[in-house]
Amino acid sequence: MQLLETIFQKREMFQNLALLLWNSFGIVASLLQEIIVVYPALSPPTLSLGASNRVCNALALLQCIASHSETRTHFLQARIPLYLCAFLETDDKAKQFEYLRLTSLGVIGALVKVDDPKIINFLLENEFVPLCLHNMTIGSELSKTVATFITEKIVVDDAGLAYVCANADRFYAVGAALATVVTSMVDQPSKRLLKHVIRCYLRMSENPRGFAALQTCLPPQLKDGTFNSCLRDDPSGRHLHQQLLVKMTSGKKGGGAGNSAGRMSWG
C-alpha cells in the first residue's frame, strides 16, 4: 500500500508515530494485511525479495508500536505478536526469509526491553520460547543475538525461569540451543552474543535443578579459554564469564538449599 510505504519512508519526521499508527483508522489492519498476504509464499518457499522488503517495512512500523509505552499494552492485548509466528517458524536460509525472521525478532525484542511480567507471560503462554530457540539455531549472527537476548529476558523473569526449568525436555532444549550458539562463535566470536549466552546460563544456574544439569552440559568452550581473547578488552564480559566459571566449579547453587549436584533430578 502506497500510504504505508510513504509512512515508512518518512517515519523519522513523525512525532509520536506509534500513537499516530495505532489511533488512525485502518492503519494497523493494513499493516496486518501486508503480513498475511505473504503467508502462502512461506511454504513452499516462493517469497520474493521485494515482497519480503514490503513485509519488513510493515514489521518495522509494528515495532514502533511495540516500543511505545502508550501503545505497547494495546499491541499485546490485540495479540498482534501471534501474526509473526509464521515467519519465525521458517527455516529457509535465503536472505528474504532471514530478513523476515530478523525483523520479526526485532518486534519481540522491543517488547521485552521493558521488564513487564505480562509480556513474559504472553510469550510463555503462546510458545515463543521454542521459536526463539529455533532462530538461535538457524539464524545469522544478528538473528542469534536478538533471539538469545529475548531468551535471556524470559529466563531473567521468575515465571520464565520456572517455565524453562519445569521439566528436563524444556531445560535441555534451551541448553542445546545455547550450546549451538556457543559452537557457532568459536571461529567468529561476538562479545554481545556471548554475554547474552553467559547471562542465560547464569540465570538458569539459579534454579537448583538447572544448576545440577549445567554441571554436565555447560559447553566446554566456556571452560577451556576459547573466548578469553574475545573478552580481553571487555571488563563486564570477563566478569560475567568468571562469575559463571566460579559458580560451576565451586558447586554453589544460585538458588536455595537443595541436594548435591549429582542427586538433582526433575520430578
The one-digit pLDDT tens for each residue of the chain (267 residues) are 577 777 777 777 777 999 999 999 999 999 999 999 999 999 999 999 999 999 999 999 999 999 999 999 999 999 999 999 999 999 999 999 999 999 999 999 999 999 999 999 999 999 999 999 999 999 999 999 999 999 999 999 999 999 999 999 999 999 999 999 999 999 999 999 999 999 999 999 999 999 999 999 999 999 999 999 999 999 999 999 999 999 998 876 554 433 333 334 665
pLDDT of res. 98: 98
- Between CA 155 and CA 161 the distance in angstroms is 4
pLDDT at 256: 40
Sign of CA dihedral 21, 17, 124, 39: positive
| Backbone conformation region of residue 224, classed left if phi is above 0, alpha if psi is from -120 to 50, else beta | alpha
Among 1.10.4160.10, 2.40.440.10, 3.40.50.2000, 1.25.10.10, name the CATH number for the domain at 1-114.
1.25.10.10
Residue 60: HSE in the Cβ half-sphere, 13 Å Cα cutoff: 15
Contact 169, 211 (CB under 8 A): no
Torsion angle defined by CA atoms of residues 212, 216, 222 and 225, in that order, rounded to the nearest 10 degrees = 120
Looking only at Cα atoms, what is the longest distance across the chain? 63
The domain ranges of the chain are: 1-114
Task: For residue 213, count CB atoms less than 10 angstroms from its CB and return exposed for 0-12, middle for 13-18, buried for 19 or more.
Answer: buried
What distance in Å separates the CA atoms of residue 244 and residue 199, rounded to the nearest whole number?
Answer: 9
Distance between first and last Cα of the chain:
53
- CA-to-CA distance for 177 and 236, rounded, in angstroms? 23
Interatomic CA distance for residues 249 and 263, integer angstroms: 17
| Residue 151 contacts residue 124 (beta carbons within 8 Å) | no
Give pairs for 116-119: CB < 8 Å, separation 24+.
Answer: 117/157, 117/159, 118/73, 118/76, 119/72, 119/76
- Name residues whose C-beta falls within 8 Å of residue 229's C-beta, 6 or more positions apart in sequence: 189
| Ranges of H-type helices in 165-255 | 168-184, 191-204, 208-217, 235-250
**What pLDDT shows up at residue 262?**
38
Alpha carbon separation from 50 to 53, 96, 100, 173 (Å, rounded): 5, 8, 12, 35
